[in-house]
Every structure is written in structure tokens, then in C-alpha cells.
Amino acid sequence: MNSVASPPNVETSHSIATKGTDMNANQTAQTTNFRATFERETVETVIVGGGQCGLAVGYFLAKLSRSFVILDEHQRVGDCWRERYDSLRLYTPRKYDGLPGMPFSRATGRFPTGAEMADYLEAYASHWELPVRNGIGVTRVRRDSASGPFVVSTNATTYEASNVVVATGGQHLPYVPDFAGELDADIRQFHSSDYRNASQLQLGGVLVVGASHSGADLALESADKHETWLVGRNPGQVPFNIEGLSGRAVLPLLWFAANHVLTVSTPVGRKIKDDIRSHGGPLLRYKSKHLKAAGVHRVEVRAVGAKDGKPVLEDGQVLDVANVIWCTGFRRDFSWIDMSIVDDKGWPRQTRGVSDDVPGLYFAGLLFQHSASSMLVGGAGRDARSVAEHIEKSTRRVASAA
């Protein structure tokens, strides 16, 4: 989640281009829109991305009295959550949804909505006076020499920095299969990142492609007024109700496991890491029985093509639907980082958020960055602390050697 983005469990996944607005010089320590009135600014650390992970890194850097800015393409802190579908609720209770130094408000429901998460992030940035510059899209990160500073190009100005923290998550570009373009023009199509609520659907059947969390959520929602098919591999499901008494008993154990057992340091953690990065996790809230009760046609095969403008499934079925919702996830895009940093699967090579290849380059919010909790809001703090402390130690080491 996230992120984009992603989770996207981002959930963090966003494009790298937006626009800036004016900022008064005496507002550098608070959330604000920004337009540089100069060509280049020098700062110790640039954090790219102002979601939960970027804010958490900023919190720890501020506690260490380090110089930094947080650049975010959105016009308002929390917009990465406001742009999700309206019915979204987190899969972890508010006890596990806060960032360091500020618990989640008890005024919300036990499982906060996406909108409540957005407002929480905005309040968090304001409370800690984090220097977020909204409306700033980063277009390129490079180094002109191996020992020189990073050069961070944006739509507003250019920054020079000793460190760059990439807090954009690991899922950026909405993925839709090529055959989507072969479907009849009368079929209304959405990627899950563009879907908000069922009012966007036209009369007729709905095909939801992708049966992980968002797929189950949106299939259940559309089935209220539309005949709905949900297709895709079976991701499995947890054997308890996360919102019931069993959930209250089991979730603390799962949270411990997500932080201390399912990590890259254990064999089971490394196996789970590959599964989650490839397919996502098991269903948590809405499961097979809920889909069946709602009348959703659950077909455990993939959508593979089009015939006469209609979607075709792997088993040969041709579905006559009026709407398609693509819950097919996102693809990674680190091409704007002008250095060799990713492995053969497109994931940055890193250890606890520290780049294995480029000194001074860091990551936050990657799917299973260190543990299963890395992709959850409540896990952002631990990874952020590791990154901030490494920046502090490295900066002091360089200063003492100078």
C-alpha cells in the first residue's frame, strides 16, 4: 500500500510532473505551495514524495536538526489518499495507522477511511511544521560527477543536495493490458486509480479485472446495482474477520510478525516478499462468501483478449459488459533517476532504504522494503528512522573527514 504507492498497501504511485506556486521566504518550515524565484537552491537532503513515508523521514530529520525539503507533486498534503476510491477503508485499525510522534485520532472509525488518512497526513505535516513544498514535480535526479552533489530537477527550480530520499513508493504507472484498446468504444473503462464511485458506471454489466483487495472492494460495490464479474487468480484470504472479535485477538500477533518475522532477514520473509511484490496479499476484509452473497460472478481465470469488441477470458468466455474496471496494479518507474540503481525486476537495490549502488541515495515506502510492515502506514516510521539515522551518521562522518 502504495503509492504510491504502492502502493498501493502503494498502497504510493504517482507521475513525476506538476506545477508550483509562490512561497514567502519566512514559510520554509511549514506546508506550502512553492515557486522558486531563483535558478538553484542548495539543501542537505531532498525528499521526493510527501506521502506518509516522506513525512516520516522528514519527522526524524527534523528531530536530528538536519536541513531538508519535501517535494510533492500534489497540490495538498494527503492528496495521494484523496485520489483513491471513495469507499476505501484501511485494512489496519487506527492503532497501527499513525506516524511517529502523533497517534491517529480516536474520533475516526476503528478502520479509517482514505479521506480520514489524507486529513491526518495534512494535520501531521502542519503539526510538525515539516517543509513540504506542494505542486513541485521532480523530473530528474542526476549527479554530474561521482563525488559531486545530486542535482534534482523539477518543474519549478533545480536543487543541489548531498542526499536524496525517494519516497514515491514502488508502484507508479497504472497498468492496463494492451488488449484494452481493442474493446468496443462503447464500453466504459477505468483503471482503479481513476475510479471514485459507482456513479461513474453506465447501465449494464461490470467486469472487474484483478481479484486482490481493490478488485474485491469494487466488485462488491458495483454488484449493488450491476451484474458484476470478478476475474483473476485467487489470492487467498485470511481465515478470520478483521473487524470482529477474532480480528482483535489476531491482529496484534500479525502486526508483530509483519515487523519482526516477515523480514528480508528470514527465509519465510524473503519468500513472502517475492509473493507480495508479484501478486499482492490475501483478501482481508471482503472474501469469497461476501462476493457470493452479493451475487458477484467469481471466475478464477484471467482476462486475456478481446473478440468482437468484448472481453475474453482464459477459459473462452466472452463477456457482454458495459463497464470494465482494471484493478491490475501499477508498474515501477525509476527512469527519472539518471543512475544505475535497479535490479533485473526493476526494484531498487537497497538495504534498509540505503542504496547499494549510490552513496547518498535512499528509498522509503517500497513494497517489502525491509519487512511486510514496510508497505503499511504504521510501518513507515521504522524504515524512516533507519534512513534518517543513516543520513545523520554519514553527514557527520563526511564533516569530520573534511
Within this chain, do residues 185 and 167 fall inside the same structural domain, yes or no?
no
> Has residue 252 been placed in a domain?
no
> Has residue 383 been placed in a domain?
yes
Q: Is the pLDDT of residue 33 over 80?
A: no
pLDDT (0 to 100) of residue 6: 31
Percent of the chain scoring above 90 in pLDDT: 82
Residues present in the chain in total:
402
> What pLDDT digit, counting tens, does each position of 152-184 carry?
999 999 999 999 999 998 789 999 999 999 999
Number of structural domains in the chain: 2
pLDDT (0 to 100) of residue 35: 45
Q: How large is the average pLDDT for residues 23-29?
A: 37
pLDDT (0 to 100) of residue 258: 94
> Has residue 274 been placed in a domain?
no
Asked whether the beta carbons of 171 and 4 are under 8 A apart, the reply is yes
Q: Is the pLDDT of residue 310 over 90?
A: yes
How far is Cα 122 from Cα 348, in angstroms, rounded to an integer?
28
Q: How large is the average pLDDT for residues 199-206?
A: 98
Q: How many CB atoms lie within 10 A of CB 271?
A: 11
Within this chain, do residues 183 and 322 fall inside the same structural domain, yes or no?
yes
Q: Is the pLDDT of residue 54 over 80?
A: yes
> What pLDDT digit, counting tens, does each position of 227-261 carry?
999 999 999 999 999 999 999 999 999 999 999 99
* Residue 292, domain extent: 176-237+282-328
Q: Is the pLDDT of residue 44 over 50?
A: yes
Question: Which of 274, 300, 328 lies at the terminal end of a domain, its last residue?
Answer: 328
> Has residue 260 been placed in a domain?
no
- What CATH number is associated with residue 197? 3.50.50.60
Position 108 confidence tier, pLDDT thresholds 50, 70, 90: confident
pLDDT (0 to 100) of residue 109: 84
> Has residue 312 been placed in a domain?
yes
Within this chain, do residues 32 and 128 fall inside the same structural domain, yes or no?
yes
Amino acid at 186: D
> Has residue 2 been placed in a domain?
no
Of 10-14, 23-27, 64-68, 81-85, which gets the smallest average pLDDT?
A: 10-14
pLDDT (0 to 100) of residue 147: 84
Question: Which of 296, 328, 360 lies at the terminal end of a domain, its last residue?
Answer: 328
pLDDT (0 to 100) of residue 284: 93
Within this chain, do residues 141 and 200 fall inside the same structural domain, yes or no?
no
pLDDT (0 to 100) of residue 87: 96
Q: How large is the average pLDDT for residues 359-373?
A: 95
> Is pLDDT larger for residue 106 or for residue 30?
106
Within this chain, do residues 201 and 314 fall inside the same structural domain, yes or no?
yes
Within this chain, do residues 324 and 191 fall inside the same structural domain, yes or no?
yes
Of 145-149, 181-185, 309-313, which gets the smallest average pLDDT?
A: 145-149
Contacts for 339 with CB less than 8 Å, ≥ 6 apart: 141, 142, 143, 357, 358, 361
> What pLDDT digit, counting tens, does each position of 279-302 carry?
778 999 999 999 999 999 999 999
For residue 204 the three cell numbers come to 449494464
Position 1 confidence tier, pLDDT thresholds 50, 70, 90: very low
Q: With H, G, I as helix, E, B as strand and everything else as coil, classify residue 237.
A: strand
Within this chain, do residues 29 and 155 fall inside the same structural domain, yes or no?
yes
> Has residue 12 been placed in a domain?
no
Query: Rounded to 10 degrees, what is the CA torsion of 61, 55, 31, 85?
Result: 180
Q: Is the pLDDT of residue 367 over 80?
A: yes
Q: Is the pLDDT of residue 88 over 90?
A: yes
Position 27 confidence tier, pLDDT thresholds 50, 70, 90: very low
Q: Is the pLDDT of residue 25 over 90?
A: no
pLDDT (0 to 100) of residue 107: 80
> Has residue 265 been placed in a domain?
no
Q: Is the pLDDT of residue 29 over 50?
A: no
* Strands, E assignment, 14-109: 32-33, 40-48, 68-72
Sign of CA dihedral 239, 241, 246, 250: positive
